[in-house]
Each structure stands twice: as structure tokens, then as C-alpha cells.
């Protein structure tokens, strides 16, 4: 018997409140839960849920090189999302382009340096 799977991401960040604001203001997420004063912030957009945990003194994702990747999200219209996030002032690691393998994608970064690729098949 198969069961439904609801993916959730858990990110260690320097400041959960500040990172939550980035997700809300720059990426259009909503904050739906706060645990502790600044211990945990939970944000979501559509089916994507991200738990942000304050971990002061930890190595930032930006300092982890290729270990800073945490998600690749497929969407229906990568250009529309790219334009929305560009207008909101998101941090980009790579601008939108069509890849030789048939995916049109772009990369965004969180303030701590976590990298996310967003793309669509073309």
C-alpha cells in the first residue's frame, strides 16, 4: 500500500526570523507557524513547506560549496516565476536560460547561501 508523501525541507539558518522575511517578501511564501521567539519559523508556498531553524554559530550554507544545494523545484512556467522573483528582489545564483538537456531553469539563493534551482521541461 502506498502512502501520500508531503515533502518538507529543514534548513539551519543564522536567523530564522530574517530568513522567513526573505522567503515572504522576496519569494512570496507565507509564514504559518512560529515556535519559540526565534527558534523556528515555518513558511510555505503551494505544496512547498520549509522549516527554518535558528542555529547560531553553525557553518553557513554559502561556506559549504556544492553542499549548499537543497532543492530542485519543477514548475509549469519558470519564466513567470523568475520574473516575479526578480521584481521582488530575490538573490539569484544563475539567471534563467534553456539548458542543453531540455530544461529551462534558474537558481536562487537564500541569505545564508542555500541554493535552489527552479525549472521546467521544454
HEC string of the chain? CCCCCCCEEEEEECCHHHHHHHHHHHHCCEEEEEECCCCEEEEEECCEEEEEEECCCCCCHHHHHHHHEEEEEECCCHHHHHHHHHHHCCEEEEEEEECCCCEEEEEEECCCCCEEEEEEEC
Residue whose cell numbers read 521582488: 88
Residue 98 lies in a domain: yes
> Does residue 53 fall inside a structural domain?
yes
Residue 2 falls inside a structural domain: no
Q: Which of 16-25, 43-52, 55-64, 92-101 has the lowest mean pLDDT?
A: 55-64
Higher pLDDT pick, 59 / 102: 102
Range of the domain at 67: 8-121
CB 98, CB 122: distance < 8 Å: yes
Average pLDDT, integer, range 19-30? 98
What does the mean pLDDT of the chain come to?
93
- pLDDT range class, residue 90, cuts 50, 70, 90: very high
Residue 108 belongs to some domain of the structure: yes
List C-alpha distances in Å: 19 to 41, 66, 98: 9, 20, 29
The reply to whether 21 falls in a domain is yes
Is residue 29 one of the residues assigned to a domain?
yes
CATH of residue 82's domain is 3.10.180.10
The count of structural domains within the chain is 1
Does residue 1 lie within any of the structural domains?
A: no
Which pLDDT score, from 0 to 100, does residue 1 have? 62
Amino acid at each position: 500500500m502506498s502512502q501520500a508523501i508531503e515533502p518538507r525541507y529543514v534548513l539551519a539558518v543564522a536567523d530564522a526570523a530574517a530568513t522567513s522575511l526573505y522567503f515572504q517578501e522576496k519569494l512570496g511564501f507565507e509564514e504559518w507557524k512560529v515556535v519559540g521567539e526565534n527558534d523556528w519559523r515555518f513558511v510555505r508556498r503551494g505544496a512547498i513547506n520549509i522549516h527554518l531553524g535558528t542555529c547560531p554559530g553553525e557553518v553557513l550554507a554559502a561556506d559549504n560549496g556544492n553542499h549548499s544545494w537543497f532543492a530542485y523545484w519543477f514548475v509549469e512556467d519558470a519564466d513567470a516565476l523568475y520574473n516575479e522573483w526578480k521584481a521582488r528582489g530575490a538573490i539569484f545564483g544563475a539567471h534563467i536560460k534553456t539548458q542543453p538537456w531540455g530544461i529551462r531553469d534558474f537558481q536562487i539563493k537564500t541569505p545564508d547561501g542555500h541554493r535552489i534551482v527552479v525549472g521546467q521541461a521544454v
